[in-house]
Structure 1
Amino acid sequence: MNGEESSLRPQSLLLTFLGDQVLGRDVCVYSGSVIDVFERAGIGEQATRSTLTRMVKRGLLRRQREGRRMYFGLTEHSTAVLRDGEHRIWQAGAVNRDWDGTWTLLGFSLPESWQRQRHDLRSKLTWSGFGPLFSGLWIAPGEVDVSDLVSELGLSAHVKVFRAHADAGMDIGAMIEETWELAELASRYAEFVRRWQPWETASPEAEEALVLRLRLQAEWLQIIRRDPRLPVKHLPDDWPAEQAEKTFRAVHARLTPLARDAATRLLDLVPVRPDQT
């Protein structure tokens, strides 16, 4: 690739790989095929095997033995994670032009000794598009359902959620700049364009295209999952998300035929057997 490669965890790459090759097909993939593809991506066999084992323990993968070979497939948990990512990439997109003026406000008050719970809540709120309006009051654009998030953390009694609209005199643009790290997010989008735009016209070999598309999708998902999808009309005029999304789609379309050809030749897939875990 041109320029520096972004930092991607093996688990992120593996989930992306499975979402691309396994999701919706009721198949499992041979561990040796995964190792082969990941070695082409610069990830060693031991790291790949460790990631597979760790993801099984976390309930993100299922194992299925066929003779002397071990195959891996998706669980309900990983399928839900990948469907969410699929929606973020292809339906929601990176640019929010449909905002209706609604905000979701979440207030919480936790005992001082609950440092871990406070950290977990803030992390999940950030992942769900919230930013800290004040220390115990967080805000997100649109109507965000946080019931599962709050219930999972066992904090239902300590959290209050409201839907709200800003007063006419409210400077929403200034509020956004104070609440979210716009400069960091813009830098991520700009770097994505710089790194991937040359591939809009490049012609890689099929095996390279398979690895490139894997990294392309993983990097793009990593960025947009950190993007709260703020209303575009309240963002700077030169906001780079739209250009980054155009680059993503153009490169993805160019790499896909070659990547599919390589996957057909390199991957050993078998149907899912319901009796396996």
Structure 2
Amino acid sequence: MTHFPSGGSARPPRAYAVPVTSVDVAAGPTAESGPEPRTQSLMLTFFGAHVLGQPIAVSSGSVIAALGRLGSTEEAVRTTLNRMVKRDLLERRRQGRKTYFGLTPHAVQVLTDGRDRIWRTGAVNRDWDGRWTMVGFSLPEAWSRERHDLRSRLIWAGFGPLQNGLWVAPARVDVREMVAGLGLEPYLRVFRAEVESPTDVREVLEQAFDVPAIGARYRAFLERWDRTDPLPATVSGDELAGQLLLHTDWLDLVRRDPHLPAEHLPGDWPAAQAETVFRGLASRWERPAARAAARLLDTLTLD
């Protein structure tokens, strides 16, 4: 039976056109033969690595030069810059004939979250307390947009669909914060729970999440980056290009990984090895990439 709060099924107010939990940053490739990451994914990586935390804006020419190292065309970069302004991820500043772009508070939140997922959360969950967050919901059939937005938030927060209208995450999740701005709180039912016999944790994980696909993405990352022969041709001898592509690839992985408990995953789970490879390359390229960016960047100090 479907239950709606009193007041009928009037649509909730529209949230951000681009929720903070789904900013199209999971568009990177997982294998060298695949397409290059979308320009916006690379651009977010660039701003996260070389602008986040500094009171600066960078010229469009700087961004074009940086992303050009990875094959992005000037037209693609300019189009993406304009789109990101419209999506409240960048703000435009003009000085003379030059145009500069700085981060909005919304973008700072997105990029800070990505940084935390990379460096604080990590790829391996060894500290699970055995408890789940469960979210049940039922929305009017006509609310396809609201359903899409809610599912995007759930996936971002590490939930998987256990059955129709019931999603689970093996972690404590602040659901109120997760759905902020969607106006769907009256349609949700949130619980904290533990699995009891005869239900098996691994069976729940396999039903709610595509465990083989998650593992395959980590193995594809290793195939691309854990090698002694030359790395992808687009980054050969170019530490800045290498840093941008590596971080974009890795962020694609961790944003799509629901951070499942390690003790209930296959013994050959590749996330730990992939994280070691990522951290090693990131450390190797950090300083030379920063020097290359410093030579390249034309910046404007913000008040």
- Secondary structure of the residue aligned to 1:225 is helix
Contact 1:199 1:251 in 2 (8 A): no
10-19 or 148-157, larger mean C-alpha shift: 148-157
- Secondary structure of the residue aligned to 1:153 is coil
The count of aligned residue pairs is 271
Over the matched positions of the two proteins, sequence identity in percent amounts to: 49
Cα distance in structure 2, aligned partners of 1:25 and 1:233: 40
Identify the residue that residue 258 of structure 1 maps to in structure 2. 288
Q: Which amino acid aligns with 2:122?
A: G
Alpha-carbon deviations, 1:172-193, whole Å to 9, x = none? 0111111101111111100101
CA RMSD of aligned residues (A): 2.0
Q: Which runs of 5+ in 1 are unaligned?
A: none
Cα distance in structure 2, aligned partners of 1:221 and 1:21: 16
Identify the residue that residue 23 of structure 2 maps to in structure 1. none
Identify the residue that residue 217 of structure 2 maps to in structure 1. 188
Identify the residue that residue 221 of structure 1 maps to in structure 2. 251
Cα distance in structure 1, aligned partners of 2:302 and 2:41: 23
Contact 2:236 2:242 in 1 (8 A): no
Alpha-carbon deviations, 1:128-167, whole Å to 9, x = none? 1100111111000111112133342211111011111111
Q: Which residue among 95, 104, 120 is the counterpart of 2:133?
A: 104
Q: Which amino acid aligns with 2:107?
A: S
Q: How does 1:44-193 map to 2 (within 5 A)?
A: 44-193=73-222
Contact 1:150 1:159 in 2 (8 A): no
Alpha-carbon deviations, 1:66-100, whole Å to 9, x = none? 22211111010000000000100000000001111
Cα distance in structure 2, aligned partners of 1:47 and 1:70: 16
1:249 lines up with 2:287 in the alignment: no
Shift of 1:168: 4.7
- Secondary structure of the residue aligned to 2:192 is strand
Q: Which amino acid aligns with 2:222?
A: V
Cα distance in structure 2, aligned partners of 1:132 and 1:30: 43
256-265 or 88-97, larger mean C-alpha shift: 256-265
Shift of 1:123: 2.1
- Secondary structure of the residue aligned to 2:181 is helix
More helix by share: 1
Q: Which runs of 5+ in 2 are unaligned?
A: 1-30
Cα distance in structure 2, aligned partners of 1:257 and 1:114: 49
- TM-score if structure 1 supplies the norm length? 0.92
Shift of 1:25: 1.1
Q: Which amino acid aligns with 2:291?
A: D
1:15 lines up with 2:44 in the alignment: yes
Alpha-carbon deviations, 1:24-69, whole Å to 9, x = none? 0111111101001111110000000000011111111011222221
Cα distance in structure 1, aligned partners of 2:136 and 2:217: 29
Identify the residue that residue 267 of structure 1 maps to in structure 2. 297
- Runs of at least 4 residues off by over 3 Å: 199-202, 204-207
Q: CA 1:47/1:10 → structure 2, altered by over 3 Å: closer, same or farther?
A: same
Alpha-carbon deviations, 1:102-123, whole Å to 9, x = none? 1100000112222222222122
256-265 or 93-102, larger mean C-alpha shift: 256-265
Q: Which amino acid aligns with 2:142?
A: S
- TM-score if structure 2 supplies the norm length? 0.85
- Secondary structure of the residue aligned to 2:49 is helix
Q: CA 1:207/1:50 → structure 2, altered by over 3 Å: closer, same or farther?
A: farther
Shift of 1:231: 0.5
